[in-house]
Structure 1
Amino acid sequence: MSSTVAGLLQVGLLVAALAAAYRPFGDYLARVYTRTTHSRVERVIYRLARVNPDSEQRWGTYALGVLGFSFVGIALLYVLQRVQSVLPFAYDRGNVPPGMAFNTAVSFVTNTNWQSYVPETVMGHTVQLIGLTVQNFVSAAVGMAVAIAVVRGFTRQATDRLGNFWVDLVRGTIRVLLPVAFVFAVVLVALGVAMSFRSGVDVDGQTVAIAPVASQEVIKELGTNGGGVLNANSAHPFENPNGWTNLIEIFLILLIPVSMTRTFGTLVGDRRQGYVLLSVMGALWTAMLAVIWVAEANGLRPLEGKELRFGIPSSALFANATTGTSTGAVNAMHDSFTGLGGGAALLNMLFGEMTPGGVGTGLYSILVMAVIAMFLAGLMVGRTPEYLGKKLGRREVTAAAVSILAMPTVLLLGAGIAAVLPGTQGALNNPGAHGLSEILYAYASASNNNGSAFAGITVTSDWFQASLGVCMALGRFVPIVAVLCLAGALAAQKKVPATAGTLPTTGPLFASLLAGSVVLVAALTFVPALALGPIAEALL
């Protein structure tokens, strides 16, 4: 069987699995966030945290809950790394240096999971399990909570309440992430993924690092996190031993972002709305997969940077899934991709995390772009734009604009400064266009909370640790605050009835308008930078 046929079969199996899970899992997510009853475990948590689960919050209070919880998480994770030497299962790896500890703390709390270190030589098992893995769960739950709050903005009328952040956080963690992660951790162990508390195993006189991988591998993919327990990430045979584990991990990456479009359609009372969003996500994702696959298959050195167990099709599929979401996991070296293949992976991130995007972030990002698309349509026909019965006025459009401009601002500023600072040139392993591509990819990955890397750039200096950490924080929290403000403004309105002049949002016209807006915004913002990096490299 040729690699192309095998690759197409993998894509077919993946799409079939996602289609089978789409309806039941998407509807289950809708029930999780709408039920008014609380489990016993949840009530214990609320009592310990002194939270009234039956109260609801204004958008500002909801946002303060997100920010407060996240910044406390950053502080605790930073301290945990700085005292690692006195913790059990540290294996004499010592305390994590301050700059690296800051970067890592921000990275995992923001669901970025960018790693500027070699995990098996820097992080002990206690920090991995109590610090990093916990954040893998709760950072994903935060993204889902914000997405649901935004959906409530469309479904509610004449209210200033968006739900309760603490309830949404707990439910996403306990009812969704934990049970799914438990089931698939068992599956991965059965398929050969390592699970051990030893520091390493001796093989022919050499010590090979090992860790409790399976329990962390699942949430790494399910929560679109991406931080590997081992440095080779999902190219390592302990994390991803065969083709079946590779396919399952891709499925886990896409499961929640894809299913949340069904959740959206269910909650707004019109599932066609969710299908339209899914069609746009799917069309862009498919186009990028084709570009990466063809570019790598026809490159001068097609197998460079690819794990031979997977080959080009599986490497292209994984790369497209991980850069189309906010997942930093990789099963191939993106730095060794062709100029066109690497540029397509980079463009996936520059679309703004909506093809299909991260857990929760993909849904609220494409909803923001839907608001922008309807605003543009309103300008073209000369009437006040509406979306799902809500008028889009100055406050709504301003909040949407802030949300989509936050990432390009911090990305281009960070990359621009890094490109001209004399001290940063020594961090590049490649000169010219590819070196610029490495810088652009690093800041795109940080600003989009993705976490994958070209890896041809060394980011252990204080400048990179600090600047990338700031980009992660701003790229995560500025859009969150903006979209919650948007949700608050929408919830305060009463729905207006559709008229003959209302643009339908369930057909191909709106889908084309939305897809065009995604591509147009990315093109107008990033083509000049891309022309100097991956485009120039591809044309050489």
Structure 2
Amino acid sequence: MAETSTSAAGVIFIVAMIAALAATYRPLGDYIYRTVTREHDRPCFQNTIERGIYRLVGVKRDTEQRWGGYARSVLAFSAVSVVFLYGFLRLQSLLPYSNGLEGVPAPLAWNTAVSFTTNTNWQAYSGEATMGIAVQAACLAVQNFVSAAVGIAVAIVLVRGFARKLTDKLGNFWVDLTRIVLWVLIPISAACAIVLIAGGAVQNLSDFTTATTATGDTQIITGGLVASQEAIKDLGTNGGGYYNVNAAHPFENPTSWTNFIIIYLFLAIPFSLPRTFGRMVGDKRQGLAIAAAMGVIAIVSAGLVVGFESFADGTVPQAVTAAMEGRDVRFGVPDSALFAAGTTLTSTGSVDSFHDSYTAFGGGMLILNMMLGEVAPGGVGAGLYGMLVLAVITVFIAGLMVGRTPEYLGKKIGAREIKLAGMYFLVTPALLLIGLAASIAVPSNLESMANSGQHGLSEMMYAFTSASNNNGSAFAGFGADTPWFNTALGLCMLFGRFLPIILALALAGSLARQRPTPASGGTFPTHQPLFVGMVVGVTVILVALTFLPVLALGPLAEGLQ
């Protein structure tokens, strides 16, 4: 009876999440569309506030940029963010509300600065024992906003590439960044922070409180501006936890219904952006097709993770009807598994359970989710432009099948476009496999691992997959806070974030310069179920061909054993 009740609750949880996302798709997608396409000279309070900001920072709001100028702005802004964040981390002891904590050591400060600037939020440290309130709120939380906005801005530029014709102008990075932060991320985060506070999340300026437990022992409890950071951490698919155990901590995620809110937050914008895409290209059906492809992959993945964790092999899991190790009993297996699937399908990296304790096949699915490119629905912005690149590859393959020049949304996919799309896809596999091989070849790295064999390989594979895809979650199980891993994973985060961005912007520039090709009887319709199925198939097949050998040595071998 208990098993049936738990399964029913899990099904209700998943169905309610799908319903909530479906209800959000249109209004949130339309709101983002209006935000990024609003005319500058339209009289409204939003334009008035923006004019003051542009005047303050010296931005000419009516000047649009070519793709190269846009890319240079993204890189310059991100480089300055890394430098300032690194400086604040090193000088933490001099800041107010530092909780008496020392400055962060140089290798860890570098890794953390890169991590939060690239929207990865990988944490090789314990949050409450390393970062004070000032750094958490004024540095890490700020990067949660702007790094998420950068991803959305790049996605909007690629959509403009499809929507515009015979031009090399793709918008202004500083205008896009300002609008997305001011009118999308801040209002929604503020509202959700209030909801989380009502649910019991902490929001105060308390540093350390010493409490006496029921057994007479003492415990140090850390406070802070937790709810506000939790909201943008999830809405912006960031994932860096205020506390070491992330969303399993009751100060971050107090109840089962706040767990629902958190999962909804990191899925809401990525699943709504296809609606924005459809509105901008003038065909809402195209947005539905991309959202459908995302949804198919997400539902299959979440179902497999929940199944592997709910009906796990082994004496103990079968005795208790599920694999409960590393799970918070407040949430149980279905809710935790859905959280894990969602956080690895996006670039969130937040966790409410210990991924290293997942079954071999369940943990393998989490790795595979990231290897898919996090496009179902992916990180904010990054998921959409990743899926559009896969759509370009799909129509190219379809064109080869019928001997016709491939087209997508009236734009021809020629040699330049497919080269850019191909290089985009190859960035992550190259970083992941080279980084993993180089780390295994260094004996001292193996000595820092708590596990050997297939599971040890899976732990290190997860780390490089997470860093290269800008996810930020971890299997743990080995000492990540070493000079080698801080440097290697930091480089994977940098290249894994900015090389795809540059390639996506270059693709947008190439598409925008084209003259649209009118649809004809031989045009492959990209709004029908056949196209959705082909996009899903191409995504899965490309990943399988690329990563199956290394997966066979890690989670697959462990599970079959």
Tell me the TM-score normalized by structure 2: 0.95
CA deviations over 1:258-304 (Å, ceiling 9, x no partner): 00011111111111111111111111111111111111112233100
What are the within-5 Å matches in structure 2 for residues 510-529 of structure 1? 510-529=531-550
Question: Equivalents in 2 of 1:399, 1:45: separation in Å?
Answer: 35
1:429 pairs with 2:440: no
Gaps of 5+ in 1: none
Aligned-partner residue type, residue 22 of structure 2: A
Aligned to 2:23: 20
Question: Equivalents in 2 of 1:145, 1:339: separation in Å?
Answer: 37
What are the within-5 Å matches in structure 2 for residues 477-516 of structure 1? 477-516=498-537
Aligned to 1:287: 300
CA deviations over 1:164-185 (Å, ceiling 9, x no partner): 0100000000000000000010
CA deviations over 1:220-241 (Å, ceiling 9, x no partner): 0000000000001000011001
State which drifts further: 185-194 or 377-386: 377-386
1:56 pairs with 2:69: no
Question: Equivalents in 2 of 1:445, 1:349: separation in Å?
Answer: 7
State which drifts further: 467-476 or 265-274: 265-274
What are the within-5 Å matches in structure 2 for residues 1-150 of structure 1? 2-37=5-40, 39-150=47-158
CA deviations over 1:332-360 (Å, ceiling 9, x no partner): 00000000000001100000010110000
CA deviations over 1:416-444 (Å, ceiling 9, x no partner): 11112111002211110000000110000
For the Cα contact (< 8 Å) 2:161–2:511, is it kept in 1?
yes
1:208 pairs with 2:221: yes
Question: Equivalents in 2 of 1:505, 1:68: separation in Å?
Answer: 36
Aligned to 1:352: 373
Question: Equivalents in 2 of 1:421, 1:207: separation in Å?
Answer: 38
What are the within-5 Å matches in structure 2 for residues 283-362 of structure 1? 283-299=296-312, 300=314, 301=317, 302-362=323-383
Gaps of 5+ in 2: 41-45, 213-217, 318-322
For the Cα contact (< 8 Å) 1:289–1:316, is it kept in 2?
yes
For the Cα contact (< 8 Å) 2:372–2:539, is it kept in 1?
yes
For the Cα contact (< 8 Å) 1:188–1:214, is it kept in 2?
yes
Question: Equivalents in 1 of 2:465, 2:365: separation in Å?
Answer: 13
CA deviations over 1:26-55 (Å, ceiling 9, x no partner): 001000010013522211211111100111
What are the within-5 Å matches in structure 2 for residues 73-472 of structure 1? 73-204=81-212, 205-299=218-312, 300=314, 301=317, 302-472=323-493
Q: CA deviation at 1:513?
A: 0.9
SS at 1:207's partner residue?
A: strand
SS at 1:201's partner residue?
A: strand
Aligned-partner residue type, residue 352 of structure 2: N
SS at 1:202's partner residue?
A: strand
Question: Equivalents in 2 of 1:149, 1:290: separation in Å?
Answer: 33
Question: Equivalents in 1 of 2:338, 2:232: separation in Å?
Answer: 19
Question: Equivalents in 2 of 1:449, 1:39: separation in Å?
Answer: 33
Give RMSD over aligned pairs: 0.9
For the Cα contact (< 8 Å) 1:200–1:211, is it kept in 2?
no
For the Cα contact (< 8 Å) 1:42–1:170, is it kept in 2?
yes
Question: Equivalents in 1 of 2:6, 2:47: separation in Å?
Answer: 49
For the Cα contact (< 8 Å) 1:430–1:456, is it kept in 2?
yes
Q: CA deviation at 1:120?
A: 0.6
Deviating 4+ runs (over 2 angstroms):
37-41, 200-203
Q: CA deviation at 1:203?
A: 2.4
Aligned-partner residue type, residue 386 of structure 1: E
Aligned-partner residue type, residue 42 of structure 1: E
Q: CA deviation at 1:508?
A: 1.2
State which drifts further: 277-286 or 150-159: 277-286
Tell me the TM-score normalized by structure 1: 0.99
Aligned-partner residue type, residue 251 of structure 1: Y
For the Cα contact (< 8 Å) 2:99–2:208, is it kept in 1?
no
Name the % identity: 52
SS at 1:160's partner residue?
A: coil
Q: CA deviation at 1:211?
A: 1.7
Q: CA deviation at 1:497?
A: 0.5
CA deviations over 1:460-489 (Å, ceiling 9, x no partner): 110000000000000000000000000000
For the Cα contact (< 8 Å) 2:255–2:330, is it kept in 1?
yes
Aligned-partner residue type, residue 413 of structure 1: I
Question: Equivalents in 1 of 2:95, 2:347: separation in Å?
Answer: 31
SS at 2:37's partner residue?
A: coil
Question: Equivalents in 1 of 2:227, 2:428: separation in Å?
Answer: 32
